[in-house]
Amino acid sequence: MSNLEELYKEIILDHYRTPRNRGELPPPASKTEGFNPLCGDELTVYLDVTDGVVSDIKITGHGCSISQASSSLMSVAVKGKTLAEVSEVLSKFKNMMTLEGEVVDLNDPSNREVLRSLGELAALQGVAKFPVRIKCATLAWNTLSQGLEEN
């Protein structure tokens, strides 16, 4: 598998080409903007949290395939989840990303476990090999964090 194919896995290209949960939510949904000053990527995360559950999420904005795919994958991963579950997936994802530049050792059973538990999100693991792209992958997640804090 070439470097490029490792970065741009099929799942990523699929979420990039057909982003899930695209669009806006009307108030009282919360609205949080995130942007990456270095490359100009911008996105807005709309969140409906009802009874401790992310009952709906929608995303607008523009950016590279990684940031678009990551936000789409994120929306799928958190939609319908309890806040506790969301915060767990958030921290797992961030962990995966902060292995900056290192290749995740898939022979290490605990890494395999984490990746398995991340499901489709694990497709983004290849990004960690490209440190400049990590900011692209984490933009949606940081915006989500901020949105939850403000909620």
Partner 1 sequence: MSSFNAVRVRADIPALTRHINGRPITYLDSGASSLPPRSVIEAMDEYYRLRHANVHRGVYQTANEATDAYEGARAAVAQFLNAPGGAEGVVFTKNCTEAFNLLAKSWGVANLKDGDVVLLSEMEHHANIVPWFQLRESIALDIRFIPVTDDYELDLSNIQELLQGVKLLSLTAMSNVLGTINPVKDLAALAHAHGALVAIDASQSVGHMPTNLVDLDIDFMMFSGHKMLGPTGIGVFWTRPEILATMPPFLGGGGMIADVRTDGYTPATGFTRFEAGTPMIAEAVGLHAAIRYLEGLGLDNVHAHDQSLTVDAISRINHQFSGRVRIIGPTAHAQRGGVLSLDVEGVHPHDIAQVLDEIGVCVRPGHHCAKPLMRRFGLAATARASFGPYSLTLDTDVLLEGLQRAITFFG
| Binding residues with partner 1: total (CB under 8 A) | 26
Write down the least CB distance from residue 65 to partner 1, Å: 5
Query: Using the rule CB under 8 A, which residue among 41, 58, 126, 128 binds partner 1?
Result: 41
133 touches partner 1 by CB under 8 A: yes
Distance CA 119, CA 96 (A): 13
140 touches partner 1 by CB under 8 A: no
77 touches partner 1 by CB under 8 A: no
Largest Cα–Cα distance of the chain, in whole Å? 47
Using the minimum distance from each CB to partner 1, give the nearer residue, 47 or 126: 126
Q: Which of 4, 29, 9, 20 is nearest to 147 (CA)?
A: 29
Cβ atoms within 10 Å, residue 40: 10
1 touches partner 1 by CB under 8 A: no
19 touches partner 1 by CB under 8 A: no
Query: Using the rule CB under 8 A, which residue among 40, 52, 80, 119 binds partner 1?
Result: 40
Using the minimum distance from each CB to partner 1, give the nearer residue, 40 or 80: 40
Q: In this structure, which amino acid lies at residue 118?
A: L
Distance CA 5, CA 36 (A): 24
Phi, psi torsion values for 56, nearest 5 degrees:
-150, 155
